[in-house]
Amino acid sequence: MKYEKKLGKTLGMGQSMLDVRGLRKVYEGSGRRVEAVGNLTFTVDAGELVCLVGPSGCGKTTLLKCVAGLLTPTSGEVLLEGRPVSGPPPGMAVVFQEYGRSLFPWMRVGANVELPLRQKPLTKARRRALVADALASVGLADATGAYPWQLSGGMQQRVAIARALAYEPDVLLMDEPFAAVDAQTRADLEDLVRGLWRERGITILFVTHDIDEAVYLGERVLVLSASPTVVREQVKVDLPEARDQLRTRVAPRFAELRTRVYEQIQAAKRGTA
Amino acid sequence: MKRLALRLFFVVALPALLVAAWWLTSDDSTDVYWPPLRTILTTFPDVWTGERLRADVLPSVLRLLAGYAAAAVGGVALGTVIGSYRRVRAVCEPVLEFLRAVPPPVLVPVVMLFAGIGDSMKIAVIASGCVWPVLLNTVEGVRAVDPVMSQTARSYGITGMARLRDVVLRSASPQIFAGLRQALSIGIILMVISEMFAASNGIGFTIVQFQRGFAIPDMWTGILVLGLLGFLLSLVFHLVERRVLAWYHGLRAASRRSS
């Protein structure tokens, strides 16, 4: 099995893939000192899909960039499979919200997906196979020769997801990936991510400000406080593994979980405990 | 077919009108310095023979291409370094502003002192004039690389040469080409000027020779050759740019449609 390495089962459930300990990020500049992330501790198990949700402007993106090794935290540490992250680690892929600025417009779709793989010691045949496989699994097998800007927003984000999949990361980080697409496309993309997760057993950390999305997608939802960010609460999503837009969203349990997360977010906005 | 004919008409209309106006206004001219266009055109094939093209036009074009290529390579390389590092930029910027403000033709006498009056002097003059627009546009283009794109590149471990080649230079290419386009017209001007100072061949040299020998219609044909050369070079440049920046024009058209 090609993706066996990534399957939570083979690593042993419960072993944490991603370990964030006491993460704190303070921005300093022009006499202003902004504590974006307060003191953040959480873990993500191998093969788990965890959603981070918090009020707008709560430092979600800062947090994700620290996890991805794109920003250096002021204190605390991030461990990927037990190894501290000090720069972008090879086992991580990030899908950004701004697909239009994340894909390279001078490269065709196939080349965009292939570019990161060129940094890895892979044969050309293997690279081609990974690209074709990744594009096929997001339903864009026939878009290889197109330029990203010839595609719709939703399709561009699919390309970005395919690029991350082809990279075969241990952890896939997604930073509000569907915030800029329309509602119907968004539902499709949610199902796509959920499907890929189940199929391939990747570990996903999904940041969003959309409560419904967090509950629908996640196995666990971490509710963040307002800035300086800490984890307010962890909500285990005990919905069945097979979810669909029609039934899951009207299930009584979905409504309960949603309400619980929503209350926490509201309380976070007010700044009460 | 009809649309193509219409387009051709629009392309040709104004030049044809201007040539006609020149023809008519100069037709009965007896002024020695302002010969009839008819005279100029009949002189043309006698002056610009195959031998003259080889002996004068070719050396000019080769010097232009050598100087232009040197400026392009040097400007992009230096511009990439300056654009990539804030510290380097802070140190270089005042000097660049000063050097850019020096009109390139005044360099001719100076460069002559160092490089003599041979080809290397002319290539150096052309290069030293062409390098500025390329350099400054490259600096701006490299600085303006989208932060999301650089973060994407970083997170996928695309660093060093791969980052330079596949991300930074490609992203800056529209601005680099804007600089190259400006440099091309500066290059043609400097090609002529450098040949007017001290030369034994070249288009500029030939034009000055005709002027000094009072071969006025011949001088005018030289000016026509320069115009045609400039037109031809900008046509070639346009074709190359269309090809290299196809993605950029497509992207712009796409974002215009969606907004």
pLDDT band (50, 70, 90) for residue A15? low
Q: DSSP 3-state assignment of B38?
A: helix
Is residue A222 domain-resident? no
pLDDT, mean of residues A7-11? 44
* Binding-site residues on chain B for chain A (CB distance < 8 A): 146, 148-149, 151-152, 154-159, 162, 166-167, 170-171, 173, 247-248, 250-251, 254-255
Which of A66, A69, A59, A42 lies closest to A220, judged by CA? A42
pLDDT at A107 over 90: yes
In-domain check, residue B113: yes
CA distance A232 to A267: 10
pLDDT per position as a tens digit, A221-267? 999 988 788 888 899 998 888 888 888 989 999 999 999 999 988 88
Residue B208 DSSP SS3: helix
Q: Tell me the whole-structure pTM to 2 decimals.
A: 0.87
Flag if A68 and B155 touch (Cβ within 8 Å). Answer: yes
Q: Which of B156, B165, B168 to mutate to test the interface with A (most CBs of A within 10 A)?
A: B156
Window A:145-164, CB contacts with B under 8 Å: 147, 149-150, 163
What average pLDDT does the segment B86-113 reach? Answer: 87
What's the pLDDT score for residue A58? Answer: 76
Number of domains in chain A: 1
Q: What is the pLDDT of residue A272?
A: 66
Asked if A149 and B156 come within 8 Å (Cβ–Cβ), the reply is: no
Please state whether beta strands A220-224 and A16-29 pair in parallel, antiparallel, or not at all (unpaired).
Answer: unpaired
Out of A88, A105, A107, the one facing B154 most closely (by C-beta) is A88
Q: Is residue A162 part of a domain?
A: yes
In a domain, B51, yes or no: no
Residue of A149, A163, A165, A173 for testing the chain B interface, max B β-carbons within 10 Å = A149
Q: What's residue A5's pLDDT? A: 44
Q: Which helix (H) or strand (E) holds B197?
A: helix B169-197
Q: How many CB pairs under 8 A join A and B?
A: 67
Q: What pLDDT does B100 receive?
A: 82
**Min Cα separation A94/chain B (Å):** 7
- For residue B7, the tally of other CB atoms under 10 A from its CB is 10
- The answer to whether B67 and B130 are in contact (CB under 8 A) is yes
Instruction: Give the separation between CA A135 and CA A126, rounded to whole angstroms.
Output: 14
**Worst-scoring range by mean pLDDT, A54-68, A120-134, B243-257?**
A54-68
Going by pLDDT thresholds of 50, 70 and 90, the confidence category of residue B229 is: very high
B64 occurs within a structural domain: yes
What is the spatial distance between Cα B159 and Cα B166, in angstroms, rounded to a whole number? 10
Establish whether the linkage from the previous residue to A228 is cis, with ω within 30° of 0: yes
Supply A142's token pair: 């026939």
Task: Give the structural domain span for A146.
Answer: 105-168
> Nearest to residue B172, comparing CAs of B132, B145, B135?
B145
Token pair recorded at residue A84: 């501290």
Testing the interface with A: which of B155, B169, B171, B243 to mutate, by most A Cβ within 10 A?
B155
Nearest to B251 among A68, A105, A119 (CB): A105
Tens-place pLDDT, residues B112-125: 888 778 888 899 99
Are the Cβ atoms of A102 and B247 closer than 8 angstroms? no
B96: domain CATH number?
1.10.3720.10
Q: Could you say which DSSP state residue A146 is in?
A: S
User: Which of residues A38 and A204 earns the better pLDDT score?
Assistant: A204
Quickly state the pLDDT bin for B250 (edges 50, 70, 90): very high
Determine the number of helices (DSSP H) and then strands (DSSP E) in chain A: 10, 10
pLDDT at A4 over 50: no
Task: Point out the residue among A106, A107, A119 whose CB comes nearest to the CB of B157.
Answer: A119
Region A123-146 average pLDDT: 94
Give pLDDT, residue B259. 67
Q: Is residue B142 part of a domain?
A: yes
Instruction: Compute the average pLDDT of residues B159-169.
Output: 94
Percent of chain B at pLDDT exceeding 90: 75
Residue B179 lies in a domain: yes
What pLDDT, on the 0 to 100 scale, is given for residue A1?
Answer: 40
Q: What is the pLDDT of residue A273?
A: 57
Q: Is the pLDDT of residue B34 over 80?
A: yes
Least confident of A216-230, B137-151, B231-245: A216-230
Taken in order A94, A99, A101, A105, is the CA torsion positive or negative?
A: positive
> Does residue A215 sit within a domain?
no
Q: State how far residue B158 is from chain A, nearest Cα, in angstroms.
A: 6
Structural domain boundaries, residue B176: 59-196
Domain for residue A253, yes or no?
Answer: no
Calculate helix-pair angle for B246-258, B216-244, nearest 10 degrees.
70
Cβ neighbours around B198 below 10 Å, total: 15
**Considering its fold, how many domains does chain B have in total?**
1
> Looking at the predicted structure, is the pLDDT value of residue B85 above 80?
yes
Residue B103 pLDDT > 80: yes
A132 within a domain of the structure (yes/no):
yes
Mean pLDDT of A127-143: 94
CB < 8 Å & 24+ apart, contacts of A219-223: A219/A48, A219/A49, A219/A50, A220/A48, A220/A49, A220/A50, A220/A51, A221/A50, A221/A51, A221/A52, A221/A53, A221/A257, A221/A261, A222/A42, A222/A50, A222/A51, A222/A52, A222/A53, A223/A53, A223/A54, A223/A261, A223/A264, A223/A265, A223/A268
